[in-house]
Structure 1
Amino acid sequence: MSRVLRASAIMAAGTMVSRLTGFARTAVLASAIGVATLGNAYNVAYTIPFILFDLLIGGVLSSVIVPMIVKAQKHDADGGRAYEQRLMTIATLVLLAIAIVGVLCAPLLVSLLTTDLPPRGYDVAVTLARYILPQIAFFGIGAIAGAILNTRDRFAAPMWAPVLNNVVVIVVAVLYLFASDAGGDIDAVTSGDLALLGIGTTAGIVVQSIVLIIAVHRVGFRFVPRLGLRQARLGEMGRAGVWTLAFVLINQVSFVIITNLATGAVGKAAAQGAGDVAGIASYSYAFQLFQLPYGIIAVSVITAMLPRMSRHVHDGRPEAVAEEFASGVRLVSSVIVPAGLLLMVLGPAVTVLIFGHGSTSVPQAIDIGNVLQVFGLALVPFSVYQLLLRVFYAFGDTRTPALIALGNLAVSATVSFVLYLTLPPDLIVMGLALAFTAAYGCGAVAAWILAARKLGTGLGGRAVGTALARMYVAAVPAAAVALAALWVTTELAGISPLSSAVMLVAGGAAGGLLYLLISHRMRIAEISSIIGLVAGRVGR
């Protein structure tokens, strides 16, 4: 576990700064454009390139490329250099073509993602999408560069590069605040305002890609365009990539359902004269906050685990894969267990402090917080599910994750539609978050059973279950302290950005410290290791 912890600590530091600047980015954007029609239109346009990238090539890059690069490094005479160059060349050309087609098809893409979006909102979303879609071409460069760095156990740059992306978009949002008189009013926004928001968003990804290119150059990678398709092992990649494509397609269908139902909730509320309710912007912002603890610790551990597990598989050591996985789950859970409980208690306090300014009102920020509270339920099953997928990817198995994802889609779609039809408009987006929780809870159980069978050695379920139970025992008092701070502060001062800051300091910080103290006294090894690592760093 110590090797994973050290590698994860490097990545977690970068990820923490990245996520914090991402919070600042999201908060400034929400203050600038709000979470009503303009905010919804921006978030629809912003998600389109990510959907296309993941659907057409991103899933293959994230699940197939790292094991294939490791294989090339082991077996190719040149250590896999030519193979890496071919991957970079092919990915760049393919994604450039996709970006061009995407810009031309922007109206169709916006229509597929929305339901009952007002005409002005639709036009704005299409315009923003055309500015933002070119960034797809840079996604592939960054993804291949990150994979090359990961196989060389260089994890810092991929985790720190998004910081510059966030800084660029923050600057753009601040410029919009000062240069535009429209604010969150979609009827007042001008073509120049939209160009600033759209081009500025794309510029952030361009800067991020440049940083990663510099990083791979420093580790000795030299890009030479190569178009030898036979040597690129596209057949092998395609066999694995077919199921990866199915996996990504299934997940994107789920997301398309969510965006349509979330935008439909706003239209449903308008038809009933119910006023403003949470829409896709509120869902997106809550989801970004939900991913903070997952991104800081789970993504870091996952990124460190996959190359190691891939090597264990190639060496014929399934027991080492199981040990690596169990260690990773315990390490991740030591952070996400208390984080999930604290989000369930302090979600509105977090969102009012971050979003309750400018074009986003305090009630709108509370709506985001209520969605975040529901997402708190999903934090543990979602993180464990993502860790389990890497067991299959280490074996080059992309079929099983796709079949599990199909089950997730069935659960998510069924629950989402039932709640959309039965809940009042102001609760629909919370219902969508609950459907997400149900889907990943079922998915984690199914993935665990199938991964244990694949290894034949088990996954250390009893030890992991015991560790999780002890972590929850340590975390419940922390959540109780946070709940008490929330109640007292609300009774005395109501809910405002200032009182929310007090709640977070009194409840979140105190609860977090109490969890560390209790878990340390309970000798939860993962927490003791983290404390020891931090103390060692500080003591230097």
Structure 2
Amino acid sequence: MPKERPVISSAKSVAICTFVSRITGMLRDMLIVQAFGAGLVLDSFFYAFQIPHLFRRLFGEGALAAAFVPTFTGALETEGRPAAEKLLARTLALLTVTLAVIVVLLEAILVTFWAFSSDNPDRQLMLALTALMLPFMLTICIVALFSSILNCLHSFVPAALIPTVLNVVMIIGVVRVGPLMSSQPEVQVFGLAISVLVAGVIQLLMLLYVLRRMGISLGWSFQPRDEKVRRMIQLMLPVMLGQGVLLLSVFLDTQICAFLAPGVNAFGADFPYPLDVGALSTLTVAQRLYQFPLGVLGVSLAIAAFPTFSRLAAREDWQQWSHEVAGSLRLAVFAGFLTGGVMIVLAEPIVQLLFEYRNFSATDTARSARVLMFYGFGMWAFCAWHIVLRGFYSLGDVRTPVKISCTMVPINLALSLVLIWFEGIREAAFAISTVTTSTLSVLVGLLWLRKRAEHAIVTSRTIRAGIVMLGITLVTAAATYWAHASWYAPLASIVPNQVLLRGIDTFGALALGCVHSSSALPPHSNCPKPACY
């Protein structure tokens, strides 16, 4: 037990840092959206901001982390710190050179497109912001590498605090730097973009300081033919392939929203397109809102359950393993049902409370709320997929989830391209396609897990528990909707402050829904523990 206390203490510290990061991230997004509204400027910024993050997920937190962490840890444990530092120097050099080449090539492409878009100032704005923020890709991937090193050395808090630095600097950028540059949104957004670059440098310097304080020597040695480096590259390639296919879906959705929303001009004729300007902003706002509870509930539950799954898999105790996976799955589905139900009935009040100020209009709120509502129908699948994913990982199987996800990419794209043409759906098509493919992924994943473990995960008890959960969710959603529909008009006549009115309306309805949810729960004495999940 004493040996576990430092781990528990670190986990609590990381959880606090992660929560602070998510809160500051939500505040950052609120201020950015309110400053620019769901229009061309915000679309351009979100597009440009997403490109470095896609490379971070591919290199820094994807392939490199999967290949570097075990190699670095192995060198540290078996050969000592000098050998590990030598590997770090060569990895750092390889990553820096690779990313620098990619940045230069992409900058050349962007400049070329920018030169040929002189008759389209809106397109030039998007390309200029992308070119300006592209170097952030270099710093954010190196920051991810340094964070991995700190985690290997059991120093978790500095890496967990790093995202907060980005959020705070961007808040300063949108609140102070942008307005100081100009009163025009098209110019202010460049102040925000510059703050992203500054934040990347600050993050890098902070982690460099921490690493030096821990006695880590940071060299730079470009030796791609080194045996350990070559082995690491071999480990990276399959992960990059799988991760790249998954990120391709996100990238294609972004292209559809950003480049085709205003319509297409070709061969001297205008071809109207079903999405309006602001589609990317609308989609991003809805995604930020559903990802917040998903991270707090679904991902946290999966992370907590993963060690138990792995321990039971190592013992080959498949009956208990299936029991634990099923119990965690019920908890995840229940959390997804409840949060999804609240999103469906309170989508508009939530968006209104957080974003509808200054330049973010009521029309923007209605568009974002429609997308958020459709995401709500899939919250159970989003939460459940993280449990299914950890189930595969506990078996040492990383390929099957990639195969499932790769299969879903063309389905997702096809659904999006078809549904955007329907009136009343439009940008919500991306939410519907994501919900559909996530549901299919969970179902297929559970079938694969059953074959691997040779024990049923979804049993009659699980189905009964699911029906109970759905009933509780319907009661909660109905009570929440009734409270919102009944209270708003009377409250509006007595609460003069708009923010206070929206807060009381949203949180009051949510609290009443939670009370009804608690009262709808079956008594523990009459319900077996697993079914009460």
Please state how far the C-alpha of 1:280 moved relative to its aligned partner: 0.7
Tell me if structure 1 keeps the 8 A contact 2:90–2:223.
no
CA–CA distance in 1 between the matches of 2:263 and 2:300?
40
Please state how far the C-alpha of 1:37 moved relative to its aligned partner: 0.6
Please state how far the C-alpha of 1:473 moved relative to its aligned partner: 3.5
Give the number of equivalent residue pairs.
Answer: 515
Give 1:205's aligned residue: 200
Which residues in structure 2 correspond to 1:355-366 (within 5 Å)? 355-366=355-366
Tell me if structure 2 keeps the 8 A contact 1:172–1:197.
yes
User: After the TM superposition, which of the residue ranges 305-314 and 253-262 deviates more from structure 2?
Assistant: 305-314
- In the TM superposition, what whole-angstrom CA distance separates every residue of 1:76-111 from its partner, at most 9, and x where no partner exists? 243x87447625751564245424532542474699
Give 2:368's aligned residue: 368
CA–CA distance in 1 between the matches of 2:235 and 2:332?
28
Which residues in structure 2 correspond to 1:491-506 (within 5 Å)? 493=492, 499-506=501-508
- In the TM superposition, what whole-angstrom CA distance separates every residue of 1:292-314 from its partner, at most 9, and x where no partner exists? 01112333344455577667767
Q: What secondary structure does 2:287 align onto? A: helix
TM-score by length of 1: 0.80
Give 1:533's aligned residue: none
Describe the shift of the 1:104–1:236 C-alpha distance in structure 2 as closer, same or farther (beyond 3 A).
closer
Describe the shift of the 1:200–1:524 C-alpha distance in structure 2 as closer, same or farther (beyond 3 A).
farther
- Candidates 484, 487, 505, aligned match of 1:486: 484
Describe the shift of the 1:453–1:203 C-alpha distance in structure 2 as closer, same or farther (beyond 3 A).
farther
- Candidates 249, 253, 256, aligned match of 2:244: 249
- In the TM superposition, what whole-angstrom CA distance separates every residue of 1:307-328 from its partner, at most 9, and x where no partner exists? 7766776776767765665555
Please state how far the C-alpha of 1:162 moved relative to its aligned partner: 1.5
In terms of Rg, which structure is larger? Answer: 2
Instruction: List runs of 5+ in structure 1 lacking aligned partners.
Output: 530-540
Give 1:536's aligned residue: none
CA–CA distance in 2 between the matches of 1:111 and 1:391?
46
Instruction: List runs of 5+ in structure 2 lacking aligned partners.
Output: 265-269
Tell me if structure 2 keeps the 8 A contact 1:8–1:297.
no
Give 1:137's aligned residue: 138
Please state how far the C-alpha of 1:372 moved relative to its aligned partner: 1.1
Tell me if structure 2 keeps the 8 A contact 1:294–1:379.
yes
Tell me if structure 2 keeps the 8 A contact 1:329–1:387.
yes
Please state how far the C-alpha of 1:471 moved relative to its aligned partner: 3.6
Give 2:451's aligned residue: 453
Give 1:515's aligned residue: 517
Tell me if structure 1 keeps the 8 A contact 2:133–2:197.
yes
Give 1:261's aligned residue: 256
Please state how far the C-alpha of 1:44 moved relative to its aligned partner: 0.7
- In the TM superposition, what whole-angstrom CA distance separates every residue of 1:114-135 from its partner, at most 9, and x where no partner exists? xx99922221122222221222
Give 1:423's aligned residue: 422
Residue type at the aligned position of 1:449: L
Q: What secondary structure does 2:134 align onto? A: helix
Tell me if structure 2 keeps the 8 A contact 1:168–1:204.
yes
The alignment's C-alpha RMSD in Å is: 4.2
CA–CA distance in 1 between the matches of 2:412 and 2:507?
35
- In the TM superposition, what whole-angstrom CA distance separates every residue of 1:453-479 from its partner, at most 9, and x where no partner exists? 334455576665555444434333222
- Candidates 470, 473, 487, aligned match of 1:472: 470
CA–CA distance in 2 between the matches of 1:321 and 1:71?
28
Give 1:26's aligned residue: 29
CA–CA distance in 1 between the matches of 2:142 and 2:158?
14
Give 1:159's aligned residue: 160
**2:294 aligned with 1:291:** no
Residue type at the aligned position of 2:443: V
Q: What secondary structure does 2:262 align onto? A: helix
Give 1:381's aligned residue: 381
Tell me if structure 2 keeps the 8 A contact 1:40–1:281.
yes
Give 1:406's aligned residue: 406
What percentage of aligned pairs have identical amino acids?
21
Which residues in structure 2 correspond to 1:305-384 (within 5 Å)? 325-326=325-326, 328-384=328-384
CA–CA distance in 2 between the matches of 1:212 and 1:463?
49
Describe the shift of the 1:228–1:30 C-alpha distance in structure 2 as closer, same or farther (beyond 3 A).
same
Describe the shift of the 1:159–1:506 C-alpha distance in structure 2 as closer, same or farther (beyond 3 A).
same
Please state how far the C-alpha of 1:26 moved relative to its aligned partner: 0.5
